[in-house]
């Protein structure tokens, strides 16, 4: 029995907001979390089907919209299974018990005497009814109440078994599913001209050539925001090209020197906080101190689909928006702020986009669509960013410098650990700030100030300081974070926030300390870890990878990395095997993971494989490039990502713990994978690369 409702259900207690039973033999499930390509919809359907005792195909997922869907905030931070899953499970359990009460009344028996099999309710003798026969919206038109018992983990039939993704058939047959495929009646096409560089103002605009193009309906300008609306995409593209020719731009903001990013990060005005501090019980004699600095560059989301949105004004002050955003309610807040409209005048519907790894251009393009659609006479406008827009104008994952210093005793044992992080904030999401954070809000004639990204509180895992505190048992430590108060390159949430760089730094440093003592890196870690679940993933990854049986060969190396995401969520350890001289190839990654209770084992495996492969791409290849004026990495040639021929073999071992809370898998692999690769490169070549990405140039420089 639970004495309290799950938080997301307590915030949205009306059961009918979550579930509806249909006479036609299915249950509509309406969570507030959205599909980002991660498979969450399938996992939530599994949970609901389990509690209701129906088969998975009877669940129909309802589109997430403001107004009708429960407000579950942003779909982020690997929290959906934990937050939405617990709410869905509870709502479904209570719906089941309400339907059983109704069945008991109809059949004239006690509810306890009834059982449910795929929606059919059976009682003593041949008594039978079903959810479908009893379907009545009034039954769920009430608030959830505490005290309902959900099934015990052992009694669940679907959770813990692999389920096929509900969205996949549409995608392999090319049926409309993505927002990019939305075709509304009378829909027009929009394109927006991005400024010549960040912060540049539009000084003059000759609109005549754009207006003269056949099919162009309108040219929109509001300060430095300008775009075209046209009958076809081809006409919109031609209109955009004409606008570009007719536009003159002033100077923009100076960008940092990409060759000296760490020095730049350390030189900026910053807000400094102590993340954690633990003093030693007794003072000890420091024999020597080792200090190392690690860094990561700005990283792009580089989603496969350039951002897209559709907007339609249905009156002077009423607008409808279709968006692949991570949170319909958050986007609505930002749009209301930017437009000066009450929120109730705006409806935001979610439709799937391509894989989303954090705060990308989805919200920005939605505001673009809204601004253009004002000139469309009530017709819907589909606004599509270009590949260049997507790579250069989406918020970036923040560059970071991480310095770690350890006091050692005469035997090389750690006496004190000091870590320092310099970074922009990692969150400037829509709906979180008193001013709108959508890109074009700062381009308007009456511009909003550019919002400087902040870090979420440590209770939520922190931002730049996420995973900056090592999980290892250390006698004393101090970790400090410097959040930049300038933001020439716009940053916001990218998968793992600061955890990728912090885990890379900590785990690289652990290897360096082990090497100082001539100790095996795995043994050194285990000697500093009491947490049994942490030890279990390290031991599982090492065993499967044959860590102990490794024989050293020329140009081949192995390395290990570990992290517990946010220090309170998923445990993950990775062993990497690499080969190469200067050009590194990752051959194999062995990933061991503990996500507590596993809802969809294949979903977890898929997330871990994907996370490990994406982290390999970040670690070997990725850096946002820029000169002092603009982002220059705006094509797949200038922002290369890992290709099929470069992808390592990935093996995933899941340590199932049905008795533990289910937690998210989406971000656990990145830090450990990056660290394992860095350590494997050092093992193979004898040189340590501390600045990401580990490119040919960096390796050659480290060898010199």
Q: Footprint of other proteins on this chain (CB under 8 A)?
A: 36-39, 162, 164-165, 167-169, 171-178, 180-181, 183, 232-234, 302-306, 352-357, 384, 386-387, 602, 606-607, 609-614, 617, 635-637, 641-645, 647, 649-650
Which residue, 256 or 306, has its beta carbon nearer to other proteins? 306
Task: Pick between residue 171 and residue 527 the one whose CB is nearest to other proteins.
Answer: 171
- Strands of 120-122's sheet in order across: 115-117, 120-122, 128-130
The DSSP-derived string for 519-584 is --HHHHHHHT---HHHHHHHHHHHHHHTGGG---BTTEEEEEEEEEGGGTS-EEEEEEEEE-SSS-
Instruction: Please report how close the Cβ of residue 657 comes to other proteins at its closest, in angstroms.
Output: 23
**Residue among 132 and 357 whose Cβ is closer to other proteins:** 357
Helical packing angle, 499-517 and 670-685, nearest 10°: 40
SS3 168: helix
Nearest distance in Å: CB 304, other proteins: 5
d(CA 488, CA 63): 37
User: Which CB, 181 or 260, lies closer to other proteins?
Assistant: 181
Contacts of 380 (CB under 8 A, 6+ apart): 184, 185, 186, 187, 188, 310, 311, 312, 373
- Helix axis angle, 80-107 relative to 40-52, nearest 10°? 30
Question: Toward other proteins, which CB reaches closer, 143 or 609?
Answer: 609
Minimum distance between the CB of residue 610 and other proteins, rounded to whole angstroms? 3
Backbone angles phi, psi at 405, to 5 degrees: -135, 135
Please state the closest distance from residue 496 (CB atom) to other proteins, in A: 14
Question: Could you tell me the smallest distance in angstroms from the CB atom of residue 553 to other proteins?
Answer: 22
Residue where the block lists tokens 């970071």:
400
* Cβ proximity to other proteins, 95 vs 309, nearer residue: 309
Cβ proximity to other proteins: between 8 and 42 the closer is 42
User: 302 vs 560, which CB is nearer to other proteins?
Assistant: 302
Kindly state the smallest distance separating residue 579's Cβ from other proteins, in Å. 16
Token pair of 422 as six digits: 């310099």
Rg (CA), the chain: 27
Query: In angstroms, what is the minimal distance from the CB of 302 to other proteins?
Result: 6
When the beta carbons of 113 and 606 are compared against other proteins, the nearer one is: 606
Write the burial class of residue 24 (CB in 10 Å: 0-12 exposed, 13-18 middle, 19+ buried): exposed
Which residues make Cβ contacts (< 8 Å) with residue 18, sequence separation at least 6?
Answer: 9, 12, 29, 30, 31, 70, 87, 88, 91, 92
Nearer to other proteins (CB atom), residue 50 or residue 352: 352
**Which residue is listed with tokens 């939530």?**
44
CB of 583 to other proteins, least distance (A): 16
Cα(563)–Cα(567) distance, integer angstroms: 8
Closest separation in Å from C-beta 602 to other proteins: 6
Please say whether the beta carbons of 48 and 92 come within 8 A.
yes
Q: Give the span between the Cα atoms of 104 and 117, in whole angstroms.
A: 15
- Shortest distance, position 32 Cβ to other proteins, whole Å: 20
Largest CA distance in the chain: 85
Structure tokens at 426: 């990692």
């Amino acid at each position: 029995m639970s004495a309290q409702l799950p938080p997301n259900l307590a915030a949205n207690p009306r059961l009918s907001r979550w579930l509806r039973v249909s006479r036609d033999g299915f249950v509509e499930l309406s969570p507030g979390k959205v599909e980002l390509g991660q498979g969450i919809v399938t996992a939530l359907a599994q949970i609901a089907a389990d509690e209701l005792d129906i088969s998975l195909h009877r669940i129909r997922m309802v589109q997430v919209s403001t107004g009708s869907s429960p407000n579950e905030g942003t779909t982020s931070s690997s929290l959906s299974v934990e937050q939405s899953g617990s709410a869905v499970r509870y709502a479904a359990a209570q719906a089941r018990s309400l339907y059983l009460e109704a069945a008991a009344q109809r059949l004239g028996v006690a509810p306890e005497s009834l059982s449910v099999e795929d929606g059919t309710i059976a009682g003593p003798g041949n008594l039978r009814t079903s959810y479908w026969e009893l379907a009545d919206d009034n039954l769920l038109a009430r608030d959830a109440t505490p005290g309902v018992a959900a099934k015990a983990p052992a009694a669940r039939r679907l959770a813990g078994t692999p389920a096929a993704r509900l969205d996949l058939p549409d995608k392999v047959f090319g049926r409309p599913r993505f927002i990019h495929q939305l075709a509304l009646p009378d829909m027009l096409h929009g394109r927006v001209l991005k400024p010549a560089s960040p912060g540049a103002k539009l000084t003059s605009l000759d609109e005549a050539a754009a207006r003269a193009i056949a099919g162009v309906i309108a040219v929109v300008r509001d300060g430095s925001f300008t775009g075209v609306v046209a009958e076809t995409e081809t006409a919109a593209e031609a209109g955009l090209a004409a606008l570009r020719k007719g536009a003159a731009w002033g100077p923009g903001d100076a960008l940092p020197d990409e060759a000296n990013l760490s020095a730049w990060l350390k030189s900026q005005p910053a807000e400094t906080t102590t993340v954690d501090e633990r003093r030693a019980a007794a003072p000890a004699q420091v024999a020597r101190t080792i200090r190392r600095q690690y860094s990561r560059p700005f990283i792009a989301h580089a989603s496969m689909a350039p951002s897209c949105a559709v907007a339609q004004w249905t009156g002077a002050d009423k607008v409808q928006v279709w968006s692949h955003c991570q949170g319909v309610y958050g986007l609505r807040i930002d749009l209301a702020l930017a437009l000066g409209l009450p929120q109730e005048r705006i409806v935001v519907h979610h439709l799937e986009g391509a894989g989303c790894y954090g705060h990308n251009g989805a919200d920005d393009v939605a505001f673009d669509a809204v601004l253009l659609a004002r000139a469309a006479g009530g017709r819907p406008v589909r606004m599509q960013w270009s590949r260049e827009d997507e790579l250069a104008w989406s918020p970036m994952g923040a560059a970071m410098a991480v310095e770690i210093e350890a006091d050692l005793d005469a035997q090389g044992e750690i006496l004190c650990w000091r870590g320092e992080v310099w970074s922009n904030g990692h969150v400037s999401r829509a709906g979180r700030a008193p001013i709108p954070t959508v890109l074009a809000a700062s381009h308007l004639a009456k511009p909003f100030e550019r919002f400087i990204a902040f870090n979420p509180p440590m209770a939520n895992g922190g931002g730049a300081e996420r995973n900056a505190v090592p999980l290892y048992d250390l006698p004393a430590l101090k970790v400090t974070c410097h959040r930049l108060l300038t933001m020439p390159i716009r940053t916001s949430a990218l998968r793992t926030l600061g955890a990728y760089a912090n885990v890379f730094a900590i785990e690289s440093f652990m290897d360096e300390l082990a090497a100082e003592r001539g100790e095996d890196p795995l043994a050194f870690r285990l000697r500093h870890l009491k947490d049994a679940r942490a030890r279990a993933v390290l031991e599982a990854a090492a065993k499967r990878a044959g860590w102990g049986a490794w024989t050293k060969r020329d140009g081949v190396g192995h390395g290990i990395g570990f992290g517990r995401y946010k220090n309170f969520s998923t445990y993950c350890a990775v062993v990497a095997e690499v080969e190469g001289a200067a050009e590194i190839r990752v051959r194999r990654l062995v990933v061991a993971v503990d996500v507590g209770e596993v809802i969809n084992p294949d979903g977890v495996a898929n997330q871990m494989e994907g996370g490990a492969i994406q982290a390999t791409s970040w670690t070997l290849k990725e850096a946002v490039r820029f000169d002092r004026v603009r982002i220059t990495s705006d094509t797949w040639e200038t922002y290369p990502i890992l290709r099929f021929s470069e992808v390592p073999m990935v093996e995933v071992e899941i340590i199932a713990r049905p008795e533990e809370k289910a937690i998210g898998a989406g971000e656990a692999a990145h830090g450990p994978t990056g660290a394992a690769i860095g350590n494997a490169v050092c093992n193979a070549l004898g040189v340590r690369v501390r600045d990401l990405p580990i490119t040919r140039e960096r390796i050659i420089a480290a060898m010199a």
